[in-house]
Amino acid sequence: MKKNTTLLLAFLFVLLSVSTVNAQAAESIWLTTDATSYKAEEIVVLRLNAASSTPIQGFTFQIRYDPKCLKPLKAVSPIAGMNGLQLPQTEGLVDASFASTTPKSALGVLAEATFQTLGGCQTELYLESAALAIRNESGFAAPLEGIVLLERNVSLNIDNAVGSAQTPVLASGGDTLSLEPTESTNSQGLDWAAVVAVSLLFFVVIAVFVVIILVYRRSLNSA
C-alpha cells in the first residue's frame, strides 16, 4: 500500500510538472499593472507581457480606455533594438506597434504604456487586440499564429482625492511613442468640402442678386 502511494505521488508530480511546462510554453499575451487603486492625477503603468518560444521581430497592440477617466501618455519597449512606429491615435483607443531588424526574445514584458488618472471613477483597460510578428521565408513580416490572449482586462478604482503625479521610471530599449490622441488632418489644414460649399453658396447669392437687379431695371424701363 505504501509502495502504491509512493508511485501515485510520483506520477502526480510528473503530471503536474508536464502541465506547468506546457502552460509556460504556450504562446500567449496578457496585461498586468502594479496596482488597481489610484488617486487623481497619478500615473498608471500598464505592462504588455508575452510568453513565446519563437523569437519575434515586432509586435502590435490596441488598448481601449475611457477618456473621461484616463489620459494616455506614452509607450516604450524595454527590449533593446525594438523601436516604436508612431501611429495616429484615436481618443479612447491606444494603438502601438514596435519592430526590430533582428529577432528578439518574447518572454516577459514587451511594452509599458502609461496613463494619467483624471478623477474619481471605476474604469478598466481592455486589450482590444495584440499580435506578435515574425519574418517569413519570403522576408516579409507575418503574424505569429497560435497566440492566446489571456488577461485582457484590468479594472481600476480611481479616488477623487488628488495623489502624487510623479513620473515613473520606465525601462527603455527603443523609441518612446506618444499615445495622446492626434488631431485630424482636416483640423490642421483646409476643409476643402467646406470651401467648395461656401464658394457655391457665394455664387448662388451673387446670381440671385444679379437677377434681382436685372428684373428691377426692366421694370423701370417698362414704366
The CATH class given to the 24-184 domain equals mainly beta
Q: Above pLDDT 90, what percent of the chain?
A: 60
Give the CA angle between residues 173, 176, 177 to the nearest 5°: 140
Confidence of residue 70 (pLDDT cuts 50, 70, 90): very high
User: Is a pLDDT exceeding 90 seen at residue 14?
Assistant: no
User: Is a pLDDT exceeding 70 seen at residue 35?
Assistant: yes
Contact 104, 173 (CB under 8 A): no
pLDDT in tens, 85-94: 999 999 999 9
pLDDT in tens, 152-166: 999 999 999 998 776
User: Is a pLDDT exceeding 60 seen at residue 190?
Assistant: no
CA dist 105 and 70 (Å) reads 31
Lowest mean pLDDT segment, chosen from 12-26, 83-97, 160-174: 12-26
pLDDT higher at 161 or 168: 161
Q: What is the mean pLDDT of the chain?
A: 79
CA dist 106 and 80 (Å) reads 12
User: What CA–CA distances, in Å, run from 217 to 82, 102, 204, 208?
Assistant: 77, 81, 20, 14
pLDDT in tens, 94-150: 999 999 999 999 999 999 999 999 989 999 999 999 999 999 888 888 999 999 999
pLDDT at res. 97: 96
DSSP conformation class of 138:
T
pTM: 0.70
Confidence of residue 74 (pLDDT cuts 50, 70, 90): very high
